[in-house]
Chains A and B, each alone.
Chain A
Amino acid sequence: MIEVKNIYKSFNDFQVLKDINVVFEKGKTNLIIGQSGSGKTVLLKSIVGLHEVNNGDIIYDGTVFNKLDFKEKKEMRKQIGMLFQGSALFDSATVEENVMFPLNMFTHMSHEEKRERANECLKRVNIVNANKLFPSEISGGMQKRVAIARAIALNPKYLFCDEPNSGLDPQTAILIDNLIKEITIEYNMTTIVNTHDMNSVMENGDKVVFIYKGEKWWEGSRDDIFDSDNQQLNDFIFASKLSQKIRDLKNHV
């Protein structure tokens, strides 16, 4: 479980996050949604410690993460996996080397054991026969899956995904969403996904947090969305004609 308490974050004089309070539950896919520029990525990066918050606490299962020193944070981070918007695979390393990287750094496994674990993770994300390819030689969807394989290589307790299906076609996006959901349950992780993809919200939103202009505007489950009378949330979720039709149909039923 990750608890975010009274988080404030500003860049110079620009206040990006204002008094965010939210609890992300274990074994669930927690989604942060909001418009571009609403502060979703800053919130996610603040939670993982890539941005120092100005005020407030980020608590990982009872440990105040943002109060830890450099060494303690480094230790804690071994329990964290993250999938970046652009995959962030090391482009000078092959697919297999990318997945083996955290194993090389933090385990005392033999080379064979590391390869076996890397292949296990790659198989889990349905990547076969691509071990020797470089990230530039595989598709965007495959890159995302390799990044997931790398993120789960050390059996993390927490998984963070920043816009996991941006730039992907709808079918591949659903595949990635399902993979994240399955892995969350399988590894019993606390997963936080940053997205503005409505399919993800409807398919994966065990818990949904809506950020509007740097503030938490709404939270609930995907089913609660249809009953919400929050204007900004409705404007955001039902922006397209298709989603409006779905809402009307659901209300009609």
Chain B
Amino acid sequence: MLLFYHIGRYFILLGRVFSKPEKWKVYYRETIKEIEKQGLSSIGIVAIISVFMGAVITIQTAYNTENPLLPTYLIGLGARDSILLEFSSTIVALILAGKIGSNIASEIGTMRVTEQIDALEIMGVNSASYLILPKIIASVFFAPFLSLLSMLVGITGGWLAGISTGVITTENYIYGIQYAFIPFYITYALIKIVVFVFLITTISAYHGYYSYGGSLEVGKSSTRAVVRSSIFILLFNVILTQLLLS
């Protein structure tokens, strides 16, 4: 029963979030701030994790295809498909759930317990829309760029690891990443990341918005936001894969 209560309250909150803003100009300014706060500030962590993950995927693929009958360019192909299909969307989304999800939940939660949300309501501002809508727009807008960056850096990381450990030559790696390339994989990854960041932003905002008590509760809300966002990312990963690839 509690699950239905949360689902109902989540959709009611979304209804309030997607209502007409009081002033577009203010919302636009907030969206720009959020792009900076959520998007630009995530470039570093996404790039660092991507380069190492690309490297590990390449080395592991090389280890698993260590057979004279298998051509070495398969290492590049395997690394490319792993990065495109799973890493640059699902794993990056899980990273973002930890970074921006906890940030959103704790920011909104703190505003709730310090009565800043009440202050907005008293002024006649739709607090749900004012606080959450710019975050949704910013994350949905910026996430595809992060995903594309992750693909690029991940593949580069794989190449660096491949040539530095000697498991593959540059020519074979480039041949492998071009071999039997299906452009839809990129579209698939971008669709997934957009859905995932929407889930992260709204689930985290929901937990923050309905925080109560003090700092301890805000901390718990933040943890719940990350855990539930991650679960829903994995659930929707299965659903979207079935819908888009089957």
Instruction: Give A contacts to B, CB under 8 Å.
Output: 45, 48-50, 73-78, 80-82, 84-86, 88-91, 101-102, 104-106, 160
Q: Is the CB of B116 within 8 A of A88?
A: yes
Closest to B116 in A: A88
Taken together as a complex, chains A and B put the C-alpha atoms of A86 and B123 apart, in Å, by 16
CB < 8 Å neighbour of A74 from B23, B118, B126: B126
Report whether A88 and B115 are in contact in the complex, using a CB–CB cutoff of 8 Å: yes
B122 A48 Cβ-Cβ under 8 A: yes
Contacts of B122 in A (CB 8 A): 48, 50, 77, 80-82, 160
Cβ of A88 and Cβ of B114 under 8 Å apart?
yes
Contacts of B123 in A (CB 8 A): 77-78, 80, 101-102, 105-106
Residues of A within 8 A of B118 (CB): 45, 50, 82, 84, 88
Contact with A along B79-118 (1 / 0, CB 8 A): 0000000000000000000000000000000010011101
Q: Is the CB of A77 within 8 A of B121?
A: yes
Sampled A-B contacts (6; CB under 8 Å): A50-B118, A77-B122, A84-B118, A86-B115, A88-B115, A106-B124
Which residue of chain A has its CB nearest to the CB of B123? A102
The answer to whether A88 and B125 touch (CB under 8 A), given A104-B23, A105-B23, A105-B26, is no
Known interface pairs A88-B119, A105-B23; A74-B114 also in contact (CB < 8 Å): no
| Cβ-defined contact, B124 with A78, below 8 A | yes
Q: How far is the CA of A76 from the CA of B23 in the complex (A)?
A: 17
From residue A48, how far is it (CB to closest CB) to chain B in Å? 6
Q: Which residue of B lies closest to A45 (CB)?
A: B118
Contact B114 A86 (CB under 8 A): yes
Interface of A is mostly: mixed
Report the separation of the CA atoms of residues A82 and B124 in the bound assembly, to the nearest whole angstrom: 11
The docked-state distance in angstroms from the alpha carbon of A106 to that of B25 is: 11
Q: Mark B1-34, 1 if CB is under 8 A from A, else 0.
A: 0000000000000000000001100100000000
A105 adjacent to B121 (CB under 8 Å): no
Query: Nearest residue in A to B107 (C-beta to C-beta)?
Result: A92
Classify chain B: how many residues form its interface, as a range.
10 to 19
Which of B174-202 touch A at CB < 8 Å? none
Contact of A50 among B114, B116, B121 (CB under 8 A): B121
Shortest distance from the beta carbon of A147 to any chain B beta carbon, whole Å: 8
The residue that A84 contacts in the complex, of B23, B119, B124, B126, with Cβ under 8 A, is B119
Give the CA-CA distance A48 to B119 in the complex, in Å.
11
6 nearest interchain CB pairs? A77-B124, A88-B119, A88-B115, A82-B122, A84-B115, A74-B124
Q: Give residues of chain B (19-66) contacting chain A, Cβ–Cβ below 8 Å.
A: 22-23, 26
- B21's nearest neighbour on chain A, judged by CB, is A105
CB proximity to A under 8 Å, residues B113-164: 114-116, 118-119, 121-126
Min CB distance, A85 to chain B, in Å?
7
- Rounded to whole angstroms, the CA-CA distance of A81 and B122 in the bound complex is 7
B residues less than 8 Å from A160 (CB atoms): 122
For the complex formed, measure the closest distance between the CB of A245 and the CB atoms of chain B, giving whole angstroms.
Answer: 37
User: Which residue in chain B gives the minimum CB-CB distance to A154?
Assistant: B123
CA–CA, A91 to B125, complex, Å?
Answer: 17
Inter-chain CA distance A50–B123, complex, in Å, is 11
A45 and B111 CA atoms in complex are apart in Å by 17
A105 touches B22 (CB 8 A): yes
The smallest beta-carbon distance between A2 and chain B, in angstroms, is: 14
- In the assembled complex, the Cα of A50 lies from the Cα of B117 at a distance in Å of 10
B106 → chain A, closest Cβ, in Å? 13
Contacts of B124 in A (CB 8 A): 73-78, 80, 105-106
CA–CA, A49 and B114, complex, Å: 18
Q: Give the distance in Å from the alpha carbon of A91 to the alpha carbon of B108 in the complex.
A: 12
Nearest-neighbor residue (CB-CB) of B124 within chain A: A77
| A106:B22 contact, CB within 8 angstroms | yes
Q: Max chain B CB contacts within 10 Å: which of A45, A80, A102?
A: A102
Contact B22 A82 (CB under 8 A): no
B114: A residues at CB distance < 8 A: 86, 88, 91
Not counting A78-B123, A84-B115, A86-B114, a sample of 5 additional A-B residue pairs whose C-beta atoms are within 8 angstroms of each other reads: A75-B124, A80-B124, A90-B111, A90-B119, A104-B23
CA distance A109 to B29 in the complex (A): 17
Taking the nearest CB of chain A, how far is it from the CB of B18, in angstroms?
A: 14
B119-A82 in contact (CB<8A): yes
Give Cα A77–Cα B23 distance, bound, in whole angstroms. Answer: 16
In the bound complex, do residue B126 and residue A85 qualify as a contact, i.e. CB atoms below 8 Å apart? no
